[in-house]
Amino acid sequence: MSTCNQDIRAIAKEHGVMLWEIAERLNITDGNFSRKLRRELSAEQKAQIIEIIQSVAAQHAEQSTATAEQ
């Protein structure tokens, strides 16, 4: 049995973004987000989540840069 939304999970992992961070941006609990991932998402939902992943990853990079400069 394959897991649904492997692409979303892989992209998040690749960018170092935790699933709870995505859930927070969607204003849902991490448990609800995990349940949402049990069924394959629509292309529109995936696009929205990928944008969130990129945004959170960029925020992580900014924080890393700011910390390194101190």
pLDDT interval class at 70 (50, 70, 90): low
pLDDT of residue 1: 54
Between CA 54 and CA 40 the distance in angstroms is 20
Within-domain flag for 70: no
pLDDT of residue 27: 98
- pLDDT tens-place string over residues 16-65: 999 999 999 999 999 999 999 999 999 999 999 999 999 999 999 998 88
The total of structural domains in the chain comes to 1
Q: Determine the structural domain holding residue 15 and report its residue range.
A: 6-65
Within-domain flag for 1: no
Within-domain flag for 33: yes
Please tell me the chain's helix, strand, coil percentages from 3-state DSSP, rounded to the nearest 5. 70, 0, 30
pLDDT of residue 65: 82
